[in-house]
Amino acid sequence: MNQSAPEKDEHSVIHSTFTIERTYPQSPERVFHAFADKATVRRWRIEGDGFAIAEFSFDFRVGGGEVSRFSYGGGPEVRLDAQFQDIVPDQRIVFSYRMAVGPQPMSASLTTVELTPSGDGTRLTYTEQGAFFDGVDSAQGREEGTRGLLEALGAELQKSK
């Protein structure tokens, strides 16, 4: 256990859970397909963040997984290793994933995506439970990440005008 407030260089771990909800006008089958189909996943989750993509492998089955490696603006490589833990077609996807920036492990998470019919559309509930490791809360990393986010947001807003 921690003996004081977690700081940058201490060995600490933070556990946290958050939930995001969205409603899409498309059917659960369509939304599920967007999570299951490699090309579609690449479009909405991998591309468009302004990252240089070094690797994206994707095997959608229980026990299968994903490896993504990317970097932003010449920064350190970010690596995501995911494994599918449970798949119920059109209803539920559970996956665990680990993130690292360069040699530094950042976090390990368990994510549950639930799809329920909502009128003619789909209600999506995204719940992520995670362990956030020590030493990754560097101001530099956060600033780079935030800058990347804001630039991606700007580009997205331009496109959707």
> Smallest distance from the beta carbon of 132 to other proteins, in angstroms?
4
| Candidates 60-68, 69-77, 85-93, 126-134; binding stretch for other proteins (CB under 8 A) | 126-134
- Amino acid identity, residue 68? S
Exposure string of 51-83, with b = 16+ CB inside 10 Å and e = fewer, is beeeebebebeeeebbebbbbbeebebbbbebe
Assign 8 to helix, strand or coil: coil
Task: Report how far residue 84's alpha carbon sits from residue 21's, in angstroms, rounded to the nearest whole number.
Answer: 21
> Smallest distance from the beta carbon of 91 to other proteins, in angstroms?
17
Report if residue 130 touches other proteins, rule: CB under 8 A.
yes
Interface residues toward other proteins, by CB under 8 A: 1-6, 12, 14, 16, 18, 20-26, 30-31, 34, 40, 43-45, 48-49, 107, 109, 118-121, 124, 126, 128, 130, 132, 137, 142, 145, 149, 152-153, 156, 160
